[in-house]
A and B are shown apart, each in its own frame.
Chain A
Amino acid sequence: MKFVLARQAAVVAALALLPAASEAIYFRDKISWRSAIPPSEMVTVEQTRGWGDTAIWVDARPDEEFASDHVPGAISLNEDRWNELLPQFLTVWAPGKKIIVYCSSLSCNASREVARRLRKEAQLSDVFVLEGGWEAWLKKNR
């Protein structure tokens, strides 16, 4: 009986794999396996090079990390002091400017959250998350 149960469960589980795999192939461009951010909202350090003054860098890391070092010209905007820092950020922002948000590394979530809030709460467009975050920027620039 136990063997029958396990065999039946394995068959059902395997059957479900087939359409799931097809769906994964269908959505391959719309969802990233590496990060929760869709590929269209993510930029690499190389891509940002050509943006120059048309981009605003936003540091989503905690205050202490921002104070110790950050991308030149970056503005601190983290979730701990969101209400306080957002108005300061908005004074710098201008329509048409691209916003690049970064946090510590590939695995951090802060940049994703700040980017999401900028889009939803501040109703801003052209908000991107830097792939690899501060670590990636450091590697390419220092």
Chain B
Amino acid sequence: MNQMPNAEPARSASHSDAGGRPTLNVESLAAANTSNVKYQKSYTLWRILDFVLAGVFIFAGLSKMFDLDPLFAGLTHLRFGDALVHFRQLSPASPLEFANGIDNFKLVPWPVSVALAFYLPWLEIFCGLGLLFRLLYHGALALLITLMVVFTLAITAAKLRGLDITCGCFGHASQHWSFPSHLATNVAILAALLALSFSNRLRKPL
């Protein structure tokens, strides 16, 4: 997957003993080890960002398909028993609410809103899984960047047109978010995705 730079100890003709046998270049080896440690640290940080973003998008997808409010209320108040009960009672939510949310943007006709209400949550979940398991990674990342650009443009356009929208981005959790919070969240996620994309271009393609 990812190349480990300078993993092999450097050998060269200039560093040989009298018999012409090659000797280990200690300085190069030390430099290579330092480089490896740095690389591994940076790789771990990017993987953490992968996990965080994957969690965000999987949560975003699931929150549109299930009413996760009681479950999270239980978890945030450390009432794990209640959370477990709510988890067992989770049932699929009607996509009508999300379709209405998309329709409120007045950008696409109703049948397209319905299709998107069915499709977008799954797309977010699959892209999240792609980031998590590094499967079809670059494709998932490209789709997520495209989605975030479209979402950001859509909420900005809605604001400019004076529409009073409730973003269904994170299901009920984001129902009362103000426009600046929407925008700030979207821009932060988009920046993180772009950073990931840039970091991955510097490495070997998957």
Mark contacts of B94-130 with chain A using CB atoms, 8 A cut-off: 1 yes-contact digit, 0 otherwise. Answer: 1110011001000000110111011101110111001
Assess the B119–A11 pair: CB atoms within 8 A. Answer: no
CA distance A27 to B143 in the complex (A): 26
Assess the B136–A20 pair: CB atoms within 8 A. Answer: no
Assess the A4–B205 pair: CB atoms within 8 A. Answer: yes
CA distance A9 to B143 in the complex (A): 6
Assess the B126–A16 pair: CB atoms within 8 A. Answer: yes
Assess the A20–B119 pair: CB atoms within 8 A. Answer: yes
Q: DSSP class of B's interface residues: helix, strand, loop or mixed?
A: helix
Choose among A4, A23, A30, A35 the residue with the greatest number of B CB atoms under 10 Å from its CB. A23
Contact of B127 among A12, A33, A38 (CB under 8 A): A12
A5-B139, A34-B111, A36-B100 in contact; A12/B126 too (CB < 8 A)?
yes
CA distance A129 to B111 in the complex (A): 18
Mark contacts of A1-34 with chain B using CB atoms, 8 A cut-off: 1 yes-contact digit, 0 otherwise. Answer: 1001111111111011101110110110011111
- Residues of B in contact, count (CB < 8 Å): 31
Select from chain B the residue with minimum beta-carbon distance to A106: B110
CA distance A24 to B98 in the complex (A): 13
Interface flag for B138 (CB, 8 Å): yes
Assess the A16–B139 pair: CB atoms within 8 A. Answer: no
A33-B114, A34-B110, A36-B110 in contact; A9/B142 too (CB < 8 A)?
yes
The 7 closest A-B pairs by CB, nearest first: A8-B139, A9-B139, A16-B122, A16-B123, A8-B136, A20-B119, A20-B118
Please name 8 further chain A to chain B contacts, defined as beta carbons within 8 Å, in addition to the given A15-B126, A27-B118, A33-B111, sorted by A numbering: A11-B139, A12-B123, A17-B122, A23-B65, A23-B92, A30-B96, A31-B94, A36-B103
Q: What residues make up the interface of B, taking CB atoms closer than 8 Å to A?
A: 65, 92, 94-96, 99-100, 103, 110-111, 113-115, 117-119, 121-123, 125-127, 130, 136-140, 142-143, 205
Q: What are 30 A-B pairs at a CB distance below 8 A?
A: A1-B205, A4-B205, A5-B139, A7-B139, A8-B138, A8-B142, A9-B138, A9-B139, A11-B136, A12-B123, A12-B127, A12-B136, A12-B140, A16-B122, A17-B119, A20-B118, A20-B119, A20-B122, A23-B122, A27-B94, A27-B95, A31-B94, A31-B96, A31-B117, A32-B114, A33-B111, A33-B114, A36-B100, A36-B103, A38-B96
